Amino acid sequence: MRPINNAHVAEPGLAVVEIAAADDQTAFAIQELLATRCAVAAADRTTHEPGEPGVRLRCYLDLRQEATPA
């Protein structure tokens, strides 16, 4: 995964969340759960590091904004 950019956490209320899960379905379910609580710049794919278990997904949260209905 790319390094976290200063702009992603430049102000209070902004966060980067990296999800580690056994599979894609679980990672996306957690991302969806976060999206019900706050604004999320959602990821559309997971990554897998060779030799490491499971998958990772990174999304960006803005706690200053309410979640938008799906």
Q: Which of 67, 11, 2, 22 is nearest to 41 (CA)?
A: 67
Average pLDDT over residues 18-45: 93
pLDDT band at 64 (very low <50, low <70, confident <90, very high): confident
The pTM is what?
0.79
Nearest to 47 by CA among 11, 70, 18: 18
pLDDT at 4 over 80: no
CA distance 48 to 22: 10
The per-residue pLDDT for range 23-35, each reduced to its tens digit, is: 999 999 999 999 9
Q: Band the pLDDT of 1: cuts 50, 70, 90.
A: low
Name the H helices within 1-70.
Answer: 24-35
What value does the mean pLDDT take over residues 37-63? 92
